[in-house]
Copies of this chain bind each other. A is one copy, B any other.
Amino acid sequence: MQLGIVGLGRMGANMARRLMQAGIECVVYDHNAANIEALQEAGATGALDLADLVRKLQEPRHIWMMIPAAYVDGLIEDLIPLLAPGDTLIDGGNSYYKDDLARAARLVESGIHYVDVGTSGGVWGLERGYCLMIGGEDKVVEALDPVFAALAPGMGDIPRTTGRQGEPSQAEQGYLHCGPTGAGHFVKMVHNGIEYAIMAAYAEGMNLLRHANIGGAARDLDAETAPLRDPRDFQFDIDVPQVAEVWRRGSVIGSWLLDLTANALSKNPQLDNFSGRVSDSGEGRWTNIAAIEAGVPVHVLSAALFDRFSSRGEADFANKILSAMRYEFGGHHEKV
């Protein structure tokens, strides 16, 4: 099987390597020539430009796009005149599923198929495999099965779910055809929405552990400071990195994200190499928008998203309004 790949950043390059390890022939292109060269050394066929990439692929072509969501539409427009009916474009990035719907409708005019693939696994995917959530027409998705199987982790040593037996299903191998166009990115979007909230759960809990010793500190006794009812209740110096470690074994909250948190805390227990400005890259927003549109309560997912906004100072004017109100009704001045 042969696959064209456009976009050889962190994710795209690793995916190409994993595919080639599984015997998939990769024709690759990136706007940065150094990225192409690195993969040529690993066995890929480099392309000079998009036209060259298309030329080097046999029909029907399969081209995997692995670039920031904001650039996908432009890339598709560039590719359309180069492609032939029956070819397939795959968006493996983090596109909004509503864009998938529009793209598939746009491409059907040219007889080009469109497959959306939500990809989870991050920088570890080369080694662990990528969890793939796929949307598109049945036959088109089936034709790509060798690609998906190569990228996915496979069964590994993870125990089978109760009741599952016989030939392992796709899902048990780490990839799933979720439904028609858009279904892949829809499921991946929700995946990331969940991810934000799980991350926030650990972060909030560990932040509380870090505050477990505040009973020892001096505290103002004035009308602007909430009293600490019994300082003896907060006299613990908890070793947060050790706690992250102990939770990894046997606890109910063991997870891969916890493993990574233990890694980070092991390297730098105070995390003072970070300032705490947390980015969000779209899927968390879309998950919450989808929930709002569908009338589904997501108190937890939304709180995790808004915490990220707040971490970047976006609540500042709201906070000033609160201080202003407190001054107006109570003559309260902000504490410095």
Contacts and interface: CB of A to CB of B under 8 A. Distances in A.
B190 A227 contact: no
Given A190-B209, A276-B316, A330-B123, A178 B245 contact: no
Given A253-B120, A257-B255, A334 B277 contact: yes
Interface stretch (A25-33, A49-57, A284-292): A284-292
Q: How many monomers of this chain does the complex have?
A: 4
A205 B224 contact: no
A129 B250 contact: yes
A102 B277 CA distance: 36
A204 interface: yes
A174 B257 contact: no
A310 B315 contact: yes
Contacts of A327: 264, 274
B291 A208 contact: yes
Given A186-B212, A257-B255, A227 B155 contact: no
Interface in A149-179: 152-159, 161-164, 169-176, 178-179
Interface stretch (A38-46, A68-76, A77-85, A137-145): A68-76
Nearest to A161: B262
